Amino acid sequence: MTPAKTSPAAVHPLHRPILAWYDMHNRDLPWREPGCPAWHILISEIMLQQTPVSRVLPIWKEWVERWPTPADMAKEPPGEVIRAWGRLGYPRRALRLHACAQAIVDQHGGEVPGDHAELLALPGIGSYTAAAVASFAFGQRHAVLDTNVRRVFARTVTGTEYPPPAVTAAETRLATELLPEEDARAARWAVAVMELGALICTARSPKCVDCPVSAQCAWRLAGSPPHSGPARKGQAWAGTDRQIRGALMAALRGSREPLSHPQLVIQVPDSALREPGQRSRCLSGLIEDGLVEPLPGDHYQLPA
């Protein structure tokens, strides 16, 4: 459902400069090209979650060539989709895309639905992805709140360096109030603000001198006060469950035959572990998540 339109007294002063900046500086990305299929846009949105464009772009191109429609992907076993995911990280996203493809074929005749509520009902599709696909693929008017957009609004409007850890009702209200009235302009606004956050209003070392709204930015006008909330923690890697799970998944992706337990766990040396039993816990977690299929004789493979 398209959000109810507000009736502001005038066009918001952020609209024109941000949209004009986007017209001049937006990146030439294939999922933004006119006529890009909704399925290809949906794939890009899932891949881009927590993963930079540079890593997504070559994998996205391979996927849309291999699986140009949901029906093409739905025919494949989920293990093949996980294998093709490669090292993008968070491989449950691959399972979600496979489940989406199946649901789109079974429930929507193989076409990605344009209705926001139907998008939200697809497996693994949350509020952000539903709004993004409805906006970017179908030109609808929705508040699209990713990390970049939230940071831009926090600084330019709220006057804080960073948004809260999780999306709040106040953020959603603000994003909705800031939407331009016309659907097409609102959809372009959504991607323009996202691009501004990705290229200029970055988390670290924002390029305020190049920002089209620096003169209006509440955070900058307040003297760029430092973040006063809970400390922002960086994502550790070495010795974490994420690293162990990734090593196990890499071994299974690299083999067309099931691996025995010794063949699998040897991929994670003791020196990589933080605690006893970490390997077993990670393997059990992968099985519970549906990313690894156990076989008789203590063998393992990607799900068939």
Would you please indicate which residues are annotated as catalytic (active-site) residues?
Answer: 45
> How many whole angstroms separate alpha carbon 112 and alpha carbon 237?
36
Pick from 90, 130, 97: nearest CA to 289: 90
What count of other Cβ atoms lies within 10 Å of the Cβ of residue 295?
Answer: 12
What count of other Cβ atoms lies within 10 Å of the Cβ of residue 231?
Answer: 6
- Print the SS3 string covering 58-103: HHHHHHHHHCCCHHHHHCCCHHHHHHHHCCCCCCHHHHHHHHHHHH
